[in-house]
Amino acid sequence: MNLFQRFFIVVTFLVLFTFCWLLLRGDRGRDKELEYQRDSEKFVLLTDEIERLQRLLEYERKKLQAVESRVDEYIKDNRDISQNSKTTNWNEPIGILVFVCNRAEALRQHIQKLLNYRKSAKLFPIYVSQDCDDEAVAEVAKSFGEQITYIKHISGANANIVIPPNHKQYTSYYRISRHYKLGLSHVFDNQKLGSVIITEDDLDIAPDFFDYFSATRWLLDADKSLYCVSGWNDNGKENLTDVTAKTLLYRSDFFSGLGWLMTKALWNELGPQWPTGFWDDWIRDPARRLNRSCIRPEVPRTAMTMFGKSGASKGLFFKHLKQIKLNETPANFSQINLSYLLKNNYDDPFMNLVYGLPKLTLDETILKTLQTTNTGESVRIEYSSMQEYTNAARKLHIMIDTKAGVGRTAYRGIVTCFINGLRIYLAPSNPKEWKGYDVGWQPPAETSEQ
C-alpha cells in the first residue's frame, strides 16, 4: 500500500468518524429533547393529579366537617335528652292556687299575668280561692270565664272561727289559715292534683315563672330532704343579687313561701294537722320542717306588687318587699342540669366552696364592695353569734330577721348575697361544730324601719 492509499483510508476513517460522532451527538440531543418532552408531559400529568387530589381532599374535608358537625349535634341532642330525662319539665298538671280576699284589681292583674305567661291550660289549671264576701272580686274572677276555676268558701267572718280571747287582734291570721286549709284541701283532695303552686293576688310573677316550677318539680320527688320550691328570694333586691345568674338556684332552710310549690305528699302529711292560725310560722317550726329545705332562685321569680302594701302581715315589710326585683328575660331551664341541687350532690361542694374562699372581716368586705367592679370574686365573712350575724346583715343590707332561728335564705347557716360584683357568703365560724339553728335567736325587729 502506498502512502496515498494510507492517507486516503485515514481521511475516510476520520470523515466517517466525524460523521458518526456528529450523528450520535444529534441523536443524543433529540433523545434529551424527547426526554424533556416526556418529563414535561409527566409534570403536567402530575400537576393535574395533584390538583385533582387537592380538589378531592377539599371535598372530603367538607364532607368530614359535615359529618363532624352532625356528630356534635347528635352528642348535644343526646346530652339534652339524657339531661332532660332527669330535669325535664314536669308533664303532669300543676295547679295554680290563688288566694284572694277583697282586692279585685290586684286579682285582675295577677290572673292576667298568669294567663299571659302560661303556655298550657292543661298543665297549669288556675284556681282562684276566695273566702271574703267581696262582690267585686267575685266579678273579676267570673270575668275570666273558663280560663280559671273560681272557688268561693263561706266567709271567714261567718265561719264561727274560734280565736283565743288574747288573739283577737290576730283574727286575720286565723282566717288566712282556715282559707289555706280549705283551698289546699280543694285542689289536693277534691281535684286530686299531685302538685300545687300557691300564690296570692298581690304577687307579681316573672315571665319564666311556670318554667321554673316545671323544671324543679322532679326534685321534690327525688329528694325527700326538700319540701318546697319557692319563686321568692328574700334578699332578691337588684343590688344584692347577680341579675345575670338567671338559672342559679339554691337550697334554703328558710321557708319563704310567696309563690311556692308543694306536693300532695306534703299535703297528706301536713293537712291533717293544719293549724288554726299562723300557718307559715307553723310550717317553719322544726317539728314540721324536719330539717327539710326548699329550692329558691338567685333571681326572683315572684315579687310584690303595690297591692302588697295592705296585706295582713306584709305591710310591715313592704318597704323591703317592694324592692325585690323580678327576673325579666326567661331562662332556659331545659338546658340546665339541676341535679346539683340534690342534697347528695350539693352539700359537700357547697361547703367546700364557701369554706375554701378567702375569709375577710366585715369591714374588709364592705371596703371591697366599694372597689369591686369586676365580677367573679367571692369572699366569706364568718359569724359566731347572733350579734355578729345581725351586725353583718345590717351592714350588707340583707334581711336581719329569723324565723325559728333560721335567717332568711340561709342554708346550713350560710347566707349569700352579691354586691357590686362581689359574691359574699356570711357563714358560721366553725361549720364542723355548728349546732344547727337556734330557735332562741330573735334579732331585733328593725327591718320595718329600714
Ligand X SMILES: *[C@@H]1O[C@H](CO)[C@@H](O)[C@H](O)[C@H]1NC(C)=O
Q: Which positions lie near ligand X, rule CB under 6 A?
A: 80, 82-83, 238-239, 286, 290-291, 332, 334-335, 337, 339-340, 345, 436
Instruction: Using only the alpha carbons of the chain, give its radius of gyration.
Output: 39
Query: Cβ-count burial of 106 within 10 angstroms (0-12 exposed, 13-18 middle, 19+ buried)?
Result: buried
Residue (164 or 286) nearer to ligand X, CB: 286
* Least distance between ligand X and beta carbon 185 (Å): 26
* Least distance between ligand X and beta carbon 187 (Å): 28
Determine which one of 280, 281, 285, 347 is catalytic: 280
Q: Pinpoint the alpha helices (H) of 209-317.
A: 209-222, 264-270, 279-284, 286-289
Are 324 and 205 in contact, with CB atoms under 8 Å apart? no
* Least distance between ligand X and beta carbon 268 (Å): 19
How many helices and strands, by DSSP H and E, does the chain display?
A: 12, 15
E strands in 161-307? 195-200, 203-205, 226-230, 249-252, 260-263, 293-297, 302-304
Give me the DSSP letters along 98-156.
EEESS-HHHHHHHHHHHHHH-S-TTTS-EEEEE-S--HHHHHHHHHTGGGSEEEEPPPG
SS3 at position 163: coil
| Phi, psi angle pair for 427, to nearest 5° | -135, 150
Residue (31 or 77) nearer to ligand X, CB: 77
Residue (268 or 332) nearer to ligand X, CB: 332
Residue (89 or 230) nearer to ligand X, CB: 89
Residue (40 or 82) nearer to ligand X, CB: 82
* Least distance between ligand X and beta carbon 443 (Å): 20
- What count of residues does the chain have? 450
| Grid coordinates belonging to 174 | 286565723
Residue (291 or 385) nearer to ligand X, CB: 291
Q: Is 39 considered catalytic here? A: no
* Least distance between ligand X and beta carbon 323 (Å): 9
Closest CA to 295 of 232, 244, 203, 211: 232
* Least distance between ligand X and beta carbon 334 (Å): 5
Q: Name every residue whose Cβ is closer than 8 Å to that of residue 377 and which is 6 or more positions away in sequence.
A: 368, 421, 422, 423
Closest CA to 98 of 135, 137, 133, 134: 137
- Cα separation, 244 vs 389, in Å, equals 27
- Cα separation, 25 vs 36, in Å, equals 16
* Least distance between ligand X and beta carbon 325 (Å): 9
Residue (181 or 412) nearer to ligand X, CB: 412
Which sequence positions are flagged as catalytic? 280
